Chains A and B, each alone.
Chain A
Amino acid sequence: MTAPPPSAPEALPNGPGAAAILAAGVGSLALGACAFAGDASPLVRKGFSLWIPTGPLSGVTLAAIVVWLAVWFWLSRRWARRDVNLMRVNASSFMMLIAGLLLTFPPFMDLLLGK
């Protein structure tokens, strides 16, 4: 008698993975938006200077990481056992990633600020 072939484990819902992907997109956009806000406004720049030796970069990155982790935590709880439309999640995530990357590019920042 031969042993039965190994069977694949039950497919996991895509919700937890989608939560991680969308949160990475939101975190990327938050990073770009915070960098842009720090560049655009002296008041924001001063507010982001949480640790003087590193200057505004300390606040920009900390804010982006807090947003990223908070969104990831929230989405992972909401989507823990659900299947979601990954095509929409991917499209949103990549749009936010591209927007975030553009917002850190100094010539693009200057263009938006009319410099």
Chain B
Amino acid sequence: MELTFRDLMTVLHGMGFGVLFMLAFSGALGVIYATAAGARWPSPSSALGLFRFYLISMAVLAWLTVLSGSYIIYPWYRAAPPAGAKDLSAYPQRLLLSSPLTAGWHELGMEWKEHIAWFTPIAMTMVAYVFIKYGPQLALQRQMRNAVLGFTAAAFLATAVAGVFGAFLNKYAPVRGGAEIVLMRGR
């Protein structure tokens, strides 16, 4: 059982950072709504501290996802093959563009994914800041609470688009190569 270094980084980007971030979304919506609904006053400070840590972690995960995607994985994806290369398996972008049946995965999928993903860290940084600044006072600031929930929903949409296209792109033209890492040897 082996994988390449690029496989490992792609999994870390998509499954490690991206999926963890997606899984945290329902919790974030619950945290913001519960705190902002102001059912109890004052909220226990330990719970508020935990909620702050939760949202900061989400913002950090969002930044790690886009930075690893844009500056580690994407250069491997868009690498140019040498002139006359017949085997394009190490050049995913060119491999997709080489057939009209797969070109759309780059022209729509990657072209949209590479940009839309960047809405998420901007939105989640704002959400974490507003939550830290106002905390339970969001219960008194209905408009601000609506903005925070709206941007959180937009971040979810952006991440979902990027994640779904990322999964399909890696299916049709996986980013592979680099040092081989042997996890287990068969008998």
Q: Which 4 residue pairs of A and B lie closest in terms of their CB atoms, listed nearest first?
A: A53-B75, A86-B143, A104-B115, A24-B126
Say whether A101 contacts B147, CB under 8 Å.
no
Q: Is the interface of A mostly helix, strand, loop or mixed?
A: helix
Whether B56 is near chain A, meaning CB under 8 Å from some CB there, is no
Binds A, one of B20-28, B95-103, B127-135, B166-174: B127-135
- Chain B residue at smallest Cβ distance from A35: B115
Give chain B's interface residue range (CB within 8 Å of chain A). 35 or more
Contact of A24 among B41, B75, B122, B133 (CB under 8 A): B122
**Closest B residue to A6 using CB positions:** B42
Known: A16-B133, A17-B141, A61-B118. A54 touches B151 (CB 8 A): no
Asked if B108 is at the interface of the complex by the 8 Å CB criterion, the answer is: yes
Q: A54 to B125: give the CA distance in the assembly, Å.
A: 24
- Are A12's CB and B137's CB within 8 A? yes
- Interface residues in A1-31 by Cβ distance below 8 A to B read 6, 8-9, 11-12, 14, 16-18, 20-21, 23-24, 27-28, 31
- Name the distance in Å between B89's Cβ and chain A's nearest Cβ: 19
Contact B144 A101 (CB under 8 A): no
A106 and B154 contacting across the interface, CB-CB below 8 Å: no
Q: Is the CB of B134 within 8 A of A17?
A: yes
- Does the CB pair A18–B144 fall under 8 Å? yes
Instruction: Tell whether, in the assembled complex, residue A90 and residue B143 are in contact, meaning their CB atoms are under 8 Å apart.
Output: yes
B112 touches A21 (CB 8 A): no
Cα A23 to Cα B137 with chains together (Å)? 21
- The answer to whether B116 has its CB under 8 Å from any CB of chain A is yes
* B contact face: mostly helix, strand, loop, or mixed: helix
Q: Are B151 and A24 in contact (CB under 8 A)?
A: yes
The answer on a CB contact under 8 Å between A101 and B74 is no
Q: Are B130 and A20 in contact (CB under 8 A)?
A: yes
Q: Beyond A12-B133, A17-B134: 11 further Cβ-contacts under 8 Å?
A: A8-B41, A9-B137, A11-B137, A21-B147, A24-B122, A24-B151, A31-B118, A65-B122, A90-B147, A104-B115, A107-B108
Q: How far is the CB of A100 from chain B (nearest CB, A)?
A: 7
- B70 and A20 contacting across the interface, CB-CB below 8 Å: no
The answer to whether A68 and B144 touch across the interface, beta carbons within 8 angstroms, is no
The reply on B180 being an interface residue by CB < 8 A is: no
A58 to B107, CA, bound (A): 18
| Partner pick for B119 among A9, A17, A100, CB 8 A cutoff | A100
**Interface digits, A77-99 against B, CB 8 Å rule (1 contact, 0 not)?**
00000000011011001100100
**Contact between A21 and B114 (Cβ–Cβ < 8 Å)?**
no
Note all chain B residues with C-beta closer than 8 A to A107: 108
Q: Which residues of B contact A24 (CB under 8 A)?
A: 122-123, 125-126, 151
Q: Tell me if A93 and B107 are in contact (CB < 8 A).
A: no
A57 on the B face (CB < 8 A): yes
